[in-house]
Amino acid sequence: MTTLSTISTVNTLNITDSPYKIKRKRSKYASFMKAYRVRTPKYKFYVECGGDTAAPVVLLIMGLGAQFLVWPNEFCQHLIDAGFQVVRFDNRDCGKSSKFKHKNALTTQHLTLTRQLKLLAQFKLGVKLPSLGRYYRRIYDESATHELPIPYYLTDMAEDTYHLLNALQIERCHIIGMSMGGMIAQIIAAEHPERVISLGLLSTSNNRLLLPVPSVKTLRNLMRTAPPKQDVEAVIAHNVALLKTISSAQYFDDKSAYDKARVLYDRRFYPKGVTRHLLAILATGSLRPYNARTKAATLVVHGSKDRLLSATHGRELARAIPDAKFELIKGLGHDIPVELAAEISRLFVEHFKAAQA
């Protein structure tokens, strides 16, 4: 297996002559991780990796608007201690990775509560949303209705990950995707099965039609208008309130949540990316066609107290993927509390080792 240790020596890809450029940086967030800035043909991605460079790779794909630091260091350390090499990265439009360039008004119009509720209703009913290319084609057709376009789809984000694997010369790996990251992972497993040893899906969904939506109270909290970016303390308080809405209530700590929100704000606060990620989910729709094509051994892990995506989503996902296994963790919300990191990682480690055997 090609691993991150071979970035500069293995000739699977010719780094010097390829469009991929990798710059080594110092990790500021974990002493056991190394940082890289990776340039693919389209975007730059900020990556951290850690563990034995001869070990199998576990690629971690995070969710909507979430920087890679939302993968707790403790969780990564458990995977490393179990004999794996861990790779985590910022998705496009998030953290220190590239931001999608287009007119700001495009995002601003989508931010209204009315518009978001309309998009959610269309999504649950299976109504296809307009793409950016379709929108620009309609500009020249005066008889056409000018619908607000969607900047990109989850399929585009899956291709980002595919190019990242190429750039790092990771031929095959295990994948854990959380929330939106789990949706991206489902697409990768179907579209690029030769790259996936086994698949781990955490707190995610295949977005099948008519699956339960969050409660009205949860939706109201999630769609509350964020304060101006310049009001640092108000933004952090807003983000802590969002975390509290979806996190594991039994393990939630206000001070820890504040400290985490402060680090994420200081590192790179970019709320537009949250909207674009949401639009990508809504525009992509049901992932069941990808599930039917999934060949990799799959483990679906979900929390009994997930208020964003109820456990029904996880059970449906496990039914849709051939031979997938389902594990329910009591008390887990839509997060990875430090207190449950060992239990969650153990489930995935056992799954990965069984797949390798």
pLDDT in tens, 235-254: 999 999 999 999 999 999 99
The type of residue at 147 is E
pLDDT of 17 reads 45
Q: Which phi and psi angles does 202 have, rounded to 5°?
A: -120, 125
In the numeric block, which tokens belong to residue 355?
Answer: 């797949």
Whole-number Cα distances in Å, 153 to 55, 101, 328, 333: 32, 15, 29, 26
For 350, residues 6+ apart whose C-beta sits below 8 A from its C-beta are none
Write down the pTM of the prediction.
0.87
Whole-number Cα distances in Å, 316 to 124, 240, 285, 301, 319: 15, 30, 15, 12, 5
Contact 49, 36 (CB under 8 A): yes
Q: Which phi and psi angles does 143 have, rounded to 5°?
A: -85, -10
In the numeric block, which tokens belong to residue 105?
Answer: 């008004």
Question: Buried b / exposed e across 302-324, counting CB within 10 Å, b at 16+?
Answer: bbebbbbbbbebbebbbebbeeb
List residues bridging with 42 in a β-sheet: none
In the numeric block, which tokens belong to residue 139?
Answer: 């500009």
pLDDT of 348 reads 98
pLDDT of 15 reads 37
Strands 173-178 vs 85-89: parallel, antiparallel or unpaired? unpaired
What is the enclosing helix (H) or strand (E) of 200?
strand 196-202
Q: How many Cβ atoms sit within 10 Å of the Cβ of residue 73? A: 18
Strands 85-89 vs 44-50: parallel, antiparallel or unpaired? antiparallel
What whole-number distance in Å separates Cα of residue 78 and Cα of residue 10? Answer: 28
pLDDT of 12 reads 31
Angle at 304 between CA 238 and CA 60, to 5 degrees: 65
pLDDT of 159 reads 97
Strands 85-89 vs 196-202: parallel, antiparallel or unpaired? unpaired
Contact 172, 55 (CB under 8 A): no
Alpha helices in 168-231, H assignment, sequence order: 180-191, 216-222
CA-closest candidate to residue 69, choices 311, 224, 259: 259
pLDDT of 128 reads 56
What whole-number distance in Å separates Cα of residue 1 and Cα of residue 197? Answer: 11
Q: Residues of the chain whose pLDDT is less than 70? A: 1-19, 102-149
In the numeric block, which tokens belong to residue 5?
Answer: 């240790």
